[in-house]
Amino acid sequence: MAWRYNPVFCDFFPFFICTIKNHVLYCEGSAVQGGLLLSVVLRRKLGRGSSPMSANHSLILFEGDVTKNFTGIFDCFGLKFTGGIERANGLAEIWECTGWPRKGRPRNYIHKAALYNGMWTAILDREMTMILDQEKCRACAKRWNIKVFGYMVESVSGSCAMYYFTSEGDTIRGLNIQNFEVLEDFGEPLPQEEGISMDDMLNDGAMRISRRLGFSDSLFAHPASKVLIIGMEDPQREAADKERSSVLMAKASHRSGVQPPKKPETRVEKPWWKLW
């Protein structure tokens, strides 16, 4: 029997594909469920050292319980908390609630999933931007006197970023890989990085480090987890939408041959005797 493993573009809760003689088996579930299933397959066919995971998501952790301070936390990142909080159960519901644009909501609204596990408050950041803004992460850590850790992984493009900030706002660890090339490797490796290679970082390495620090991404899938969906206004999204609308209108006018109306000229009447 011929087996072939093909990691695919994954969004947070992973999808895995195994091809068996042209029959495709889709395995949907949490990182733990998918990892366990594929680990059995891959250990048999590809050897115990093979990495079974491919990822595309971003998680940012805030020390302690910040669920009562979403306004202050998101303000550090230029996001305006709208006060709207919902509950979500299961990965499918989380994914639907954090999608953009969301039906019935303004286009400048985005939604993020949050979960407190007794040690960290984790934010699932589908826009994959929060942890990349080091200046804002440092300011948030210092302002609220909390540690901040986060990562962004996009296996398909060979990209990964991971940063750890102290409660004083100092960066103690920074790693940035783009297009399979290490652009930044700042600070001493964390003890939780032991046994995790740079290649692992483009797969499940950052998730494993997060788990060793005290938060497992698989908690979002646990039936008992109280996952919150937070709504907020994103000024950048609004600005991007306006720019996009302007471009589309210009293209539509060009295709139709209709020129935008010209501003009427102001004509000043001259006295009959003035020749210039």
Residue pLDDT, tens place only, 213-222: 999 999 999 9
Which pLDDT score is estimated for 136? Answer: 98
pLDDT at 238 > cutoff 90:
no
Percent pLDDT > 90 in the chain is: 61
Residue pLDDT, tens place only, 32-83: 333 333 333 333 333 333 344 457 889 999 999 999 999 999 999 999 999 8
CB 74, CB 80: distance < 8 Å: yes
Instruction: Please give the radius of gyration of the chain, using alpha carbons only, rounded to the nearest integer.
Output: 24
Query: For the chain, what is the mean pLDDT?
Result: 78
Region 81-96 average pLDDT: 93
Number of H helices, E strands in the chain: 7, 12
Least confidently predicted of 90-94, 142-146, 254-258 = 254-258
**Nearest 10 degrees: Cα torsion 31, 66, 84, 150:** -40
